[in-house]
Amino acid sequence: LAEKNGELRVYYQPQVETESEDISGMEALIRWEHPELGMISPGFFIPLAEENGLIVPIGEWVLRTACADAKRWQERFGLNLRISVNLSAVQLRQQNLVQVVQQVLAETGLESTQLDLEVTESINVKSIPNLMETLHGIRELGCKISIDDFGTGQSSLDYIKRFPADRIKIDQTFVRNIGVDPDDEAIVRATIGMAHSLNRAVVAEGVEIEEHLDFLRAQGCEELQGYLFCRPLPAASFENLLVEREKVFNRLPSEEALP
């Protein structure tokens, strides 16, 4: 009903490039705006939608909405921002997932290289038949794959080696303890080192304070996401953010030209 009544929203949270701190992409995060209960977080209703199977149509709706918004922003601002969309294990079990992604790209006109699909590390790999084939199929379309919540699942190193991912997202539980717990700092450092040795890029989630940023920058983490930069925003506010960014970037060269 929430879907039919138009109560679902996609919010967008920027991901920034560590060196420049300029925006490089955004993660699509679903919200349910209930007329009486107010905003319901995905942590609450996604597990229910996974249980009853509704995550399949909901996930497809998020994918279509996010790709359409990304395409519109690409046309308006001329930026090739990457759009990251979360995939549930239930969606990965659908035999037609690759075709669904291909169809959404065709419908929305978004370049496949701009789409990144996030798969959480905590999925039970053995419960998903053909997982590797599906992920390879998605990559053959030209899309990227990220391992979400890295460090919280039970993946073996062998599995990580074989998992066809372009990026690893370090989970917020480790990032939060930078400057607090030297063991978590060691895990972050080791994860970045391992990811780079395996030719994967690294994104840190839950970057909240300057100390996190400084540490992650010193360790060579490529991209950052967190409240320090921006909270997840409704599409209209996210678009305003891109307008503001454009103003800053258009103003700088002319200002520099002044005597």
By a kind-dependent CB cut-off of 5 to 8 A, residue 234 interacts, out of Mg ion, ligand C2E, none, with none
Shortest gap between Cβ of 123 and Mg ion (angstroms)?
Answer: 12
When asked if residue 86 is in the footprint of Mg ion (CB under 5 A), the reply is: yes
3-state DSSP of 9-33? EEEEEEEEECCCCCEEEEEEEEEEE
Helix boundaries (H) for the chain: 42-52, 55-77, 89-92, 97-108, 131-140, 157-162, 172-175, 182-197, 210-218, 235-257
Considering the complex, what minimum distance in angstroms separates the CB of residue 251 from ligand C2E? 28
Number of residues that bind Mg ion (CB under 5 A): 4
Does 91 engage in binding with Mg ion (CB under 5 A)?
no
First-to-last C-alpha distance (Å) of the chain: 61
Query: What is the DSSP code (8-state) at residue 123?
Result: S
* CB-based contacts of 107, cutoff 8 Å, min separation 6: 64, 67
Q: Which of residues 117-176 bind Mg ion (CB under 5 A)?
A: 118, 148-149
For residue 27, count CB atoms less than 10 angstroms from its CB and return exposed for 0-12, middle for 13-18, buried for 19 or more: buried
Q: Which residue, 68 or 87, has its beta carbon nearer to Mg ion?
A: 87
Of 148 and 222, the one with the shorter C-beta distance to Mg ion is 148
Min separation Cβ 258 and ligand C2E, Å: 37
Say which amino acid occupies 214. Answer: D
Residues that bind ligand C2E (CB under 6 A): 13, 29-30, 41-43, 46, 59, 62, 86, 88, 118, 120, 148-149, 172, 205-208, 225-227, 232
Q: Does residue 69 touch Mg ion according to CB under 5 A? A: no
Residue 227: contacted member of Mg ion, ligand C2E, none (CB under 5 to 8 Å, by partner type): ligand C2E
Question: Which sign, positive or negative, has the C-alpha torsion 131, 173, 195, 12?
Answer: positive
Q: Which is nearer to ligand C2E, 46 or 216 (CB)?
A: 46
Q: Tell me the closest approach of the beta carbon of residue 187 to ligand C2E, in angstroms.
A: 17
- Please choose, from the candidates 181, 201, 182, the residue with its C-alpha nearest in 3D space to the C-alpha of residue 191: 201
Binding site for Mg ion (CB under 5 A): 86, 118, 148-149
